[in-house]
Structure 1
Amino acid sequence: MLENAAARAVRVVASYACDPLRSPGRAVEEEASRTRSAFQRDRDRILHSTAFRRLKFKTQVFVYHEGDHYRTRLTHTLEVSQIARSLARSLGFDEDLAEAIALAHDLGHSPFGHAGERALQRVATDIGGFDHNTQSLRVVTRLERRYAEFDGLNLTFETLEGIVKHNGPVMPGAPTATGFLLDWAEGAGVDLSTFAPGEAQAAAIADDIAYNSHDIDDGLRAGLFTVDELCAAVPLVRSHVEAIRQRYPDLSLNRLTHEIVRRLITGMVEDALSVAMSRIDAWAPATPDDLRNAGAPVLAFSPAMMEEVDAMRRFLFRRMYRHQRVMAVMDAAERLVEQLYGRLVEDPRELPGEWPSGGTLSGEKLRRTVCDYIAGMTDRYAVAEYERLFDAVSELR
Structure 2
Amino acid sequence: MNWEQLLSLKRFGDTNKRLRKEQDETRLGFEVDYDRIIFSSEFRSLQDKTQVVPLSKTDFVHTRLTHSLEVSVVGRSLGRKVGQKLLLKHPHLQSVHGYQANDFGAIVAASSLAHDIGNPPFGHSGEKAIGEFFKTGKGKVFKTELTEKEYQDLCDFEGNANGFKILTQSRDGREGGLRLSYATLGAFMKYPKESLPKKPTNHITDKKYGFFQSDKEAFSEVANELGLIKRGKRDNASFSRHPLTFLVEAADDICYTIIDFEDGINLGLIQEEFALEYLINLVRDTINTKKYHQLKNTQDRVSYLRALAINTLIFEAVDIFIKNEEAILKGEFNTALLDRSKYEAQINDIIKMSVENIYESQEVVDKEIAGYEVINKLLHVYITAVQNKFNDNLSNYDKLILKQLPKTINTDHKNLYDQLLNICHYVSLLSDSKAIMSYRKIKGFDF
Bin for the TM-score computed over the shorter chain: 0.7 to 0.9
Distance 1:238 1:47 in 2: 33
The alignment status of 1:292 with 2:299, answered yes or no, reads no
Bigger shift: residues 61-70 or 348-357: 348-357
Offset of residue 377 of structure 1: 0.6
Bigger shift: residues 31-40 or 361-370: 31-40
- Aligned residue for 1:223? 268
Match of 1:199 among 231, 240, 244: 244
Match of 2:309 among 258, 264, 269: 264
Distance 2:411 2:110 in 1: 37
CA contact (8 A) 1:341 1:374 kept: yes
Distance 1:229 1:375 in 2: 37
Match of 1:322 among 330, 354, 360: 360
Match of 1:159 among 184, 189, 201: 184
Q: Percent identity?
A: 22
The one-letter code sitting in structure 2 at the alignment partner of 1:163 is: F
- Aligned residue for 2:158? 131
- Aligned residue for 2:209? 176
- 1:66 is paired with a residue whose SS is coil
- Aligned residue for 1:6? none
CA contact (8 A) 1:185 1:191 kept: no
Specify whether residues 294 and 308 from structure 1 end up closer, same or farther in structure 2 by C-alpha distance, changes over 3 A only: same
Distance 2:213 2:192 in 1: 19
1:14-29 matches, within 5 Å, as: 17=3, 23=8, 25-29=10-14
Can you list the C-alpha shifts for 1:137-190, whole angstroms capped at 9, x where unaligned?
0101116x4x7361411222222222213x677784244165345444334425
Distance 2:28 2:279 in 1: 43
Offset of residue 60 of structure 1: 0.5
Offset of residue 373 of structure 1: 0.4
Match of 1:68 among 56, 59, 62: 59
CA contact (8 A) 1:110 1:376 kept: yes
The alignment status of 1:103 with 2:110, answered yes or no, reads no
Can you list the C-alpha shifts for 1:76-114, whole angstroms capped at 9, x where unaligned?
111111111111111115221111111111110111111
- Aligned residue for 2:80? 89
Can you list the C-alpha shifts for 1:264-322, whole angstroms capped at 9, x where unaligned?
11221121122234335xx4xxxxxx743251179823442122222222221111101
Structure 1 gaps, min length 5: 1-14, 284-289
Output the TM-score relative to the length of structure 1: 0.81
Distance 1:310 1:192 in 2: 32
Can you list the C-alpha shifts for 1:231-264, whole angstroms capped at 9, x where unaligned?
5767725958997589416621111111221121
Output the TM-score relative to the length of structure 2: 0.72
Bigger shift: residues 176-185 or 313-322: 176-185
Specify whether residues 248 and 74 from structure 1 end up closer, same or farther in structure 2 by C-alpha distance, changes over 3 A only: same
Specify whether residues 42 and 316 from structure 1 end up closer, same or farther in structure 2 by C-alpha distance, changes over 3 A only: same
Bigger shift: residues 120-129 or 78-87: 120-129
Match of 2:175 among 150, 161, 178: 150
CA contact (8 A) 1:232 1:238 kept: no
RMSD: 3.3
- Aligned residue for 2:393? none
Specify whether residues 36 and 148 from structure 1 end up closer, same or farther in structure 2 by C-alpha distance, changes over 3 A only: same
Distance 1:250 1:161 in 2: 43
Offset of residue 355 of structure 1: 4.4
- Aligned residue for 1:7? none
Specify whether residues 64 and 265 from structure 1 end up closer, same or farther in structure 2 by C-alpha distance, changes over 3 A only: same
The one-letter code sitting in structure 1 at the alignment partner of 2:63 is: T
Specify whether residues 355 and 204 from structure 1 end up closer, same or farther in structure 2 by C-alpha distance, changes over 3 A only: same
- Aligned residue for 2:138? none
Match of 1:117 among 127, 134, 142: 127
Distance 1:66 1:180 in 2: 37
Distance 2:427 2:341 in 1: 40
Distance 1:317 1:241 in 2: 27
Distance 1:82 1:45 in 2: 16
Structure 2 gaps, min length 5: 84-100, 136-142, 144-150, 200-207, 232-238, 387-398
Distance 1:295 1:329 in 2: 41
Offset of residue 361 of structure 1: 5.5
Bigger shift: residues 328-337 or 27-36: 27-36
Specify whether residues 225 and 168 from structure 1 end up closer, same or farther in structure 2 by C-alpha distance, changes over 3 A only: farther
The one-letter code sitting in structure 2 at the alignment partner of 1:173 is: K
1:205-244 matches, within 5 Å, as: 205-230=250-275, 236=281, 239=284, 244=289
CA contact (8 A) 2:188 2:248 kept: no
The alignment status of 1:366 with 2:419, answered yes or no, reads yes
Offset of residue 359 of structure 1: 6.2
Specify whether residues 237 and 39 from structure 1 end up closer, same or farther in structure 2 by C-alpha distance, changes over 3 A only: closer
Specify whether residues 222 and 184 from structure 1 end up closer, same or farther in structure 2 by C-alpha distance, changes over 3 A only: same
